[in-house]
Structure 1
Amino acid sequence: METVIFDGEDGTELEFGILEQTRVGGINYLLVIDPEENDEENGSAAYILKDISEDGDEEGCYVFVEDDTEYDAVYKVFAAMLDDIDFE
């Protein structure tokens, strides 16, 4: 599984596994899981990251999607893409 390194607010690095990626409204989004939060009963926690990097940047710069409307819209796209996978 491809991974992305995310710099946490406290300066720590978090590694997420990328489940899927999409582009909505000209913005790239990643659906990621935290492999460290995986357990058999509840599965993995899934998060949506938004690419806020500028054109020409060599690397993407991602932030967690926090706006409820934006999250719901992108969630629906990922849900349709991964219809057979349960991610909560």
Structure 2
Amino acid sequence: MEKIKFEMDDTNEVVDFFVLEQTRVNGVNYILVTDSEEDDAECLILKDTSASEDEESIYEIVEDDVELAAVSKVFEELLEDVEIEM
């Protein structure tokens, strides 16, 4: 499992996340991440909001219920043995 570091804009704190899966829906990149490699870990769906010319990706937590439900269904299909509970 790939581990990536995120720097929080508001606190400049660096947080490690493990990337479970990534996908592209309607031209937008999403990643499913978790803060632990344990079985029942909590996960987040992050949306790439950066412009194509940006050097680094900018990710935001998906909070819109409709978007979250749609993208989580895609991740559940990609990861057959994973069930995402909201």
Distance in 2 (alpha carbons) for counterparts of 1:87 and 1:71: 11
Count of equivalent residues: 84
Residue 3 (structure 2) aligns with: 3
Distance in 1 (alpha carbons) for counterparts of 2:35 and 2:67: 21
Distance in 1 (alpha carbons) for counterparts of 2:71 and 2:14: 25
> In percent, how many aligned pairs have the same letter?
46
Distance in 2 (alpha carbons) for counterparts of 1:3 and 1:27: 21
Residue 20 (structure 1) aligns with: 21
**Unaligned 5+ residue runs, structure 2?**
none
Q: Could you state the TM-score of these two structures normalised by the residue count of structure 1?
A: 0.83
Aligned CA-pair RMSD: 1.8
Distance in 1 (alpha carbons) for counterparts of 2:71 and 2:83: 16
Q: Could you state the TM-score of these two structures normalised by the residue count of structure 2?
A: 0.85
Stretches (4+) displaced over 3 A: none
Residues 44 and 87 of structure 1 are in contact (CA less than 8 Å); yes or no, is this contact kept in structure 2?
no
36, 44, 49: which one pairs with 2:41? 44
**Unaligned 5+ residue runs, structure 1?**
none
